[in-house]
Structure formats: structure tokens, C-alpha cells
Amino acid sequence: MASSETAPLLASENAPGIRASGDERQEARGTFAKRLGAKEGFALLISIVIGSGVFSSPGPIDANVPSPGAALLVWLVGGILAWTGALTMAELGTAFPGEGGIQPYLTHMYGEIFGFLAAWSWIVAVMPATLAILSIVFVESIYSSLGITYTEPPITHKLLSLLVLVVVSTANSISTKTSTRLGNFFVAVKLLSIFLLIVAGLVVVFVYAGNRHKDLGGGDWHRRNWFHERDSYENGHRIEWRNVSTWNTLGHYCTALYGALWAYSGWDKANYVAAELRNPSKQLPLSINTAIPTIVLCYVAANAVYYVLLPWKTVSVTDAAAVTAVTHFLGKAVAYFATVLICLVIAGSALGNSFVAGRMTVAAANKKWLPSILSNIGQIGNWRVSKGSEEEEDADAALDKGESPINALILSTILSAIYILGANMRILLTFNGLGEYSFFFLTVLGDIILRWREPDLPRPVKPFLAIPIVFALISGFVVVRGAIFAPVQAAILIGIWVVGIIFYFARKRVLRA
């Protein structure tokens, strides 16, 4: 998962769904200082996208494909989706400057109800599921370093995951400034972790090349065909791929792809990079076209390393591949150090996502989409606990001064706790992917429609039409086939949407009364 220490999905009140005038566009463009070039844009995208997913997703991906080579292809396809999606979001971000995220785009394309449903889905489903996954992976990484692996984690795992969740939410409730200031540190840690992982794989390969009788890795990487079908294990069940139909195989591939998309998440934040570039029309595509391929290369290389360091049967049964690989390669002593690094990466992602979830909820409450109590800053309920001004203050201004959206964070924590208690990481990955990509598909489809509906809309960044079409085709298939393959997760998500629609119209009626 990317480290989502970025602006929230929800936009400001700036005319959502209304085409801005030239002056308004200029004002929106001027919100951020235009000081960055393509080099800084490249670095910012790298920091946004690379997160904990590359350490935790390999197991769920490997369990749903018939070979290691197929798993690496899934990572490649996920990268192509991220690449085409980022370029399309860059088009929308520069066409509607100052409106952060997909919610205002959906409002403009389809009407406010779609914008609301996107916000509702992120607040009720996507962000809580994300926090639940990160909390679970944090605990799983520690257990893996101790050599303890469970096919079905016991209740103690869930209770410890709840503890991690509460600590993260509490940290953000105490001080949002402290958590955001840790961002650069966490970025450095995760890049160092990936670098050391790749170096370990290269050491194994070079040592074996020099002495064919000395293999420091798992052994399968040079003895077996990387694309030859072998049985894998998913949720304790053995999958015999020779007996799986083509249609069901596609379902497994879609589930695997959700694991990769979790690791690539953050690509949709490309428009935040555009806000600070001196020349977005040239520098933004250059940043995307260098950063995303670099990330894909890092991810494919890191996952190839897992298959070098570990016996292949081990990869599919772990939810902490990096820790398991280091433990197998260098022993428990070094694995403890690696675990600390990876847990820091996960903690950074959790802090960032908790931070964003709180701001999303405040923004929705400010739009009167949610009860106003959720927009209170520095308060538990209506009781002030911070040292902020006793006078009423704009929520955004209070957030900027470092006060915390405690009520919003409490809601996010409760929802995340429900997901931790009710599901495991692999189920949540599919649920998270369905929630995100349903709206990403609608957004990119809307971008294609706008090419015909509003051909004169200013588009400083305008990728070839084939780029959004590729994204729409692949993401649309992945959502539909993934929903059929995981009907429980899809049904829960649809239920959340139905409740959201009812809530939306009921609240509008109450507010009009």
C-alpha cells in the first residue's frame, strides 16, 4: 500500500461540478507555490506510491496465480493500470485545478450523488479497510520474524491488530503535526528497505553463479521453471491449477491483481503533484512517465527477490513476505532489524491513512453530507479537549493549526475495528480493491465521455485517448470479474452503497425541512 500521506479524496467547497471561469482557474492554480520541477515531481510521486504493499501483497498474489512468472506479470499489469490511471488523473487534475481527488470529477460528470457515493465509500469502506489491513500486517510482520506463521490467524492476532489501530488513531488525535512531520523519515525507511532487499537477492544470484554448489536462497529459483504450474495455497485450501477452469482462473487473477493494486495505490494523487509544478503540461507527464516505470521496476525486482530467497511453497502462505524472506536468508537476528524497518514503513502508512481518513470525514461533514458533529475539531463529541480557541473556528483552519478531528478519527477507528474482527487481510484486499476501482473506472470512463461532451474544455495535460481506454477496459473487467469471484465482499460493498444512497436523500430531506 502506498503511504497515503496526501490530501484527501474530498475537495474543498470550490464549485464542485461547476465549470470554473478563467479567473477562477487561475486562482485555483495559484493555491500552491509553483516551485517544483520534473525532478521534484518524480520524487514526490515515488514517495506517495511506494509503501507497505510491496512487503505484504506478494503472498496473496502468489496464492492466486499458477506460477511465480505469472505473479510477476500481475505486478506488471498492476503497474500498467497505475501508469494509465495516473496520466488520466493528470488530465482531470489540470482541467479542474484546485479540486483534489475524484469526488469533484464524478460530481461534474454524473451529478452530486456520485460524488457523495465516492466520499461515502472512502469514509465507510476503503479507508477503514486500509487501516485494518495495515494493522493486521504490522502484527503479522512481528510474528513472521519470530518464525510463527498461521494459515488462519488466532484471535490474539486480531486483538493485537486492534491495539495497533488504537495507538495509531490516538497518535493522530494527539497531534496531526507530529504524524505528518514523520513523513520524510518513513519515506527514507521504505526506500532503504527495498534497496536492501534487492541487494540480498543479487548476493544470492552472484554467489550461486560463482559456485553452483552454494545456494543461499530457497533453491527453487534455479531448479524449477518460473512459468510452470504448481499448486498454491489460499486461506488454507490447496489450489490444483490443472483442475481449475479458465473462468475461475480469471477470477483468481483478478483477486491477485487487487493485491498488486493495493501496493500501487496512490497513483491517483498525480494531480496533487501538478499543483506545485512550474510547467504542469510538460513536467507532469515527464514526472509520471519516469516515476511509475521506476516503481514498477522496483516492485517486480523486489518480488523476484522473494522467489530467490524463499522456497516457492512458502511465498503463498505468508502475509509478511519481506520479513519471512530475510529470516530465511540471514536468520532471526537480522530479521528483527528488518522487521523494525518494515514495521516503521507500515506505521508510517497507517499514520498517513488515519490522518487522511479524519480529514475526509471532516470535509464530508462540512458539505453537510454527514452529521455536523463529525466536523468538530479538538473535541470529543461537543466537549473540547484541545488547547485551541474556545470560539468557533473554521474546521480547515483548526486542522491547519494542528488540532485533531477526534470525532472523525473515532468513527474511522470503530469502522476499522469491525473490519479487523470480521475479516482477514486477504479478504480485505479484495474488498478494498472493489471499493476503489469501481469509482476509478467510473472516473476514467467519464474522462473518455468528456472528450466528446466537452471537447473545448482546457486540458493542459491530454494523453492519447488509448490511455484512458486501456485503463477503463482492464479496470472494468477486473471489477466485474472480481465481484463475481468474491460475491460476499461485493454484496457488502453494494449494501454500503445502498445505505449511503438512502442516507443521502434522507439527510437532504431533513435539511430542507
Lowest mean pLDDT among 75-79, 317-321, 366-370: 317-321
Q: Write the class of the CATH domain 31-124+180-229+240-342+427-512.
A: mainly alpha
Which three cell numbers mark 210?
560463482
User: CA of 151: how far to CAs of 69, 146, 148, 203, 321, in Å?
Assistant: 24, 15, 10, 31, 14
User: Within a 10 A sphere around the Cβ of 65, how many other Cβ atoms?
Assistant: 25
* pLDDT at residue 218, rounded to an integer: 86
pTM attached to this predicted model: 0.84
> What's the mean pLDDT in 242-271?
90
**What is the C-alpha radius of gyration for the chain, rounded to an integer number of angstroms?**
22
SS3 (DSSP) at 233: strand
> What's the mean pLDDT in 355-384?
84
Which three cell numbers mark 86?
495516473
27 — pLDDT class (breaks 50, 70, 90): very low
Domain ranges in the chain are 31-124+180-229+240-342+427-512
Per-residue pLDDT tens digits for 226-246: 999 988 877 667 888 989 999
- More reliable by pLDDT, 3 or 17: 3
Beta bridge partners of 380: 383
* pLDDT at residue 7, rounded to an integer: 40
Q: Is 206 exposed, middle or buried (0-12, 13-18, 19+ CB in 10 A)?
A: exposed
Looking at the predicted structure, is the pLDDT value of residue 177 above 90? no
> What's the mean pLDDT in 500-508?
93
Looking at the predicted structure, is the pLDDT value of residue 432 above 90? yes
Lowest mean pLDDT among 165-169, 267-271, 357-361, 505-509: 267-271
* pLDDT at residue 13, rounded to an integer: 41
Looking at the predicted structure, is the pLDDT value of residue 166 above 80? yes
User: CA of 510: how far to CAs of 369, 490, 496, 498, in Å?
Assistant: 12, 30, 21, 18
* pLDDT at residue 18, rounded to an integer: 35
The whole-angstrom distance between residue 500's C-alpha and the CA centroid of its chain comes to: 22
- Distance between CA 120 and CA 364 in Å, rounded? 8
276 — pLDDT class (breaks 50, 70, 90): low
- Which of 100-114, 166-180, 193-207, 243-257 has maximum average pLDDT? 243-257
Mean pLDDT of the chain: 83
